[in-house]
Amino acid sequence: DYRKDARTGAMELQTTPCKGELNGLQDKLELAIGARVMLTRNIDISQGLVNGAFAKVATLVYSPSNSTHVQKLGLDLDQSQRRNSDNQMLVYLERSEENITTKKGMVRRQFPIKLAFACTIHKVQGMSTTSAVVSLKEIFQAGMGYVALSRVTSLRGLRIIDMDESKLYANPDITESLNNMQKSCFEQIMPFYHLSHTLDRDKTFSIIHHNTQGLPSHIQDIQAHHELCLADVLCFTETRLQGFVAPFLHLDGYSMFERSRHMSYTNFSDIARKDGGGVAIYVKNHIVAHEVRYVHNVTDLEFCSCKS
């Protein structure tokens, strides 16, 4: 801790730290190589140095001018929190600075970490790990047990202590809401699939429209969909196609016609340069159809037109 001299403005190092705030930088850190720690500040997202990240102290970097002053900490981040492609590379953490509001003129320079050989359930929400020891002793809320037990990727890596089944319960309001939800049968989930069995296919022409939100990334989903493959014509928007259409985007049994956003705009180049957009039509092979590439007086519109 440092006190700012009111007359000179110089920072004077204090011999003992003062009492800081509960959620502030630690008053005192007792560390050693191999210690488990958790970051308490967002420092550098690109390196994985974010609030709540777990790491192991791998090395201590001392000041060249003071062999007892630790200048940096070399941290070995947990595998799930690494951002760097080189898994062997350490990330280095410097001290942060904050004013101590309870002591006028006091400034603290400390590493934004705390020991974390264990941590609360709230701190690990959203985290995944290969192994964990979970204590159910202090659970006091609905859903906390689920959050704790679901952090591990397999049962093999889970060890439970202080087992108490009464601590594993859901919010009663959620259970009641689920019970009151309208039940849906399979026919309602896939109406076209069941309707197709009652239709005369020779006298029925079916068209399905779907926003793909990226045709290349969802083409396998489309190929595996039970209902889409029953349509005579598939109309897709937001294909995000750009120029060349790769062979894997063609569907067996269909002819494909497409138009990208870039090719759709003549007078609005700013829109043409934007990502996204694009349309595509798939027509069953037994239907003779040809693309109408240009329509008189129709410009600056993302469309694809076919004539049978």
Counting Cβ atoms within 10 Å, is residue 215 exposed (0-12), middle (13-18) or buried (19+)? Answer: buried
pTM for this predicted structure: 0.51
Task: Choose between 272 and 21: higher pLDDT.
Answer: 272
Taking the C-alpha atoms of residue 92 and residue 73, their distance in angstroms, rounded to an integer, is 5
Residue type, 234: L
Q: Is the dihedral of CA 281, 284, 285, 287 positive or negative?
A: negative
Q: Kindly state the tokens that stand for 48.
A: 């994985």
Q: Which amino acid is at 42?
A: N
pLDDT at site 304: 87
Nearest to 278 by CA among 243, 226, 229, 227: 243
User: What is the per-residue pLDDT for 101?
Assistant: 76
pLDDT at 71 over 70: yes
Q: How would residue 80 be classed by pLDDT, with cut points 50, 70 and 90?
A: low
DSSP 146: H
Q: How many H-runs (helices) and E-runs (strands) does the chain carry?
A: 6, 17
Q: Report pLDDT for 210.
A: 93
Q: How far is CA 287 from CA 131, 135, 202, 252, 279, in A?
A: 57, 64, 12, 14, 20
Q: Is the sign of the CA dihedral 78, 82, 87, 90 positive or negative? A: negative
DSSP state, residue 7 = T
Asked whether 246 and 281 are in contact (CB, 8 A), the reply is no
178-229 pLDDT per residue, tens: 999 887 766 666 666 667 667 777 788 889 999 999 999 999 999 998 888 8
Neighbour-count burial of 111, counting CB atoms closer than 10 A to its CB (0-12 exposed, 13-18 middle, 19+ buried): buried
The mean per-residue pLDDT over the stretch 40-47 comes to: 86
| Mean pLDDT across 77-89 | 63
CB atoms within 10 A of CB 148: 23
Report pLDDT for 275.
85
> Residue 109: pLDDT band by 50, 70, 90 thresholds?
confident
Contact criterion met (CB below 8 Å) for 107 and 2: yes
Strand partners, 210: 236
- pLDDT at residue 186, rounded to an integer: 60
